Amino acid sequence: MDLALVAQFWTIAVLLALTPGADWAYVIGAGLRARSVVPSILGMLTAYAIVIAAVAVGVGALVTQYPVVLTVLTVGGAAYLIWLGMIALLRRVEPVGPHGEPIAGSATAQFLRGAGVSGINPKGLLLLLALLPQFTSPGGMPAAAQMLVLGALHLADIAVIYTIVALLARRLLRSRPRALVVVAKLSGAMMVLIGTSLLAERFLHG
């Protein structure tokens, strides 16, 4: 692999992971309302790993050949984000107990929600479809293997960054009830806005 290309990909991947979006909105909520952020982040990583593997084995070409696949992903992902956002907006924000009682449901539910947010996030899918093939080099390892390596690097990036975001949200906001309410509602509004904008973009320009 070309180390210069790997470095360029890593830089872009870190910048993308640092950009707030649906993933951030969900992970902040997990940091505030769950005993552990691990199930949610593992769900997100699992979904992205599946997407990366799919791109590496050629699903990207399928999406390019059959645009309806991307439309289905976009509509499904947008609807799911809107649903999660509405739940966050309508749910009463309770103070988090001093012993970190689990408020956001079971670990399995948190894992599945995290996987749902990342796995059918069309923006994340599009970014991986666009980025991974660009940073492969001819010769040496097969292109699919190179994309898997680059994808693993991206997974490491988001594992670290999302964990830091969730833990910072927990540390800084749990002791500030008013700030907790504001951030929880903003996170919900962000997911609704992102989902709505995805739907609008798809139907206006699709």
The answer to whether residues 141 and 30 touch, using CB atoms and an 8 Å cutoff, is: no
Distance CA 28, CA 26 (A): 5
Dihedral (Cα; 1, 162, 26, 203), 10-degree rounding:
-30
Strand, coil or helix: 29: helix
Residue with tokens 């988090």: 96
Phi first, then psi, for residue 104 (nearest 5°) are -95, 20
Supply the pTM of this predicted model.
Answer: 0.67
Strand, coil or helix: 14: helix
Both tokens assigned to 57:
């084995």
Residue with tokens 């289905």: 72
Within 10 angstroms of residue 39's Cβ, the number of other Cβ atoms is: 24
Task: Identify the domain containing residue 188 by its residue range.
Answer: 3-205
Residue 100 confidence (pLDDT): 42
As for how many domains the chain has, the answer is 1
Residues lower than pLDDT 70 in the chain? 19, 59-64, 67, 69-70, 73-74, 77, 81, 93-105, 121-127, 130-131, 134, 173-175, 177, 179-180, 183-184, 187, 198, 201-202, 205-206
Residue 27 confidence (pLDDT): 86
- Please tell me the number of Cα atoms within 13 Å of 121 on its side-chain side: 27
Residue 43 confidence (pLDDT): 92
Residue 69 confidence (pLDDT): 67
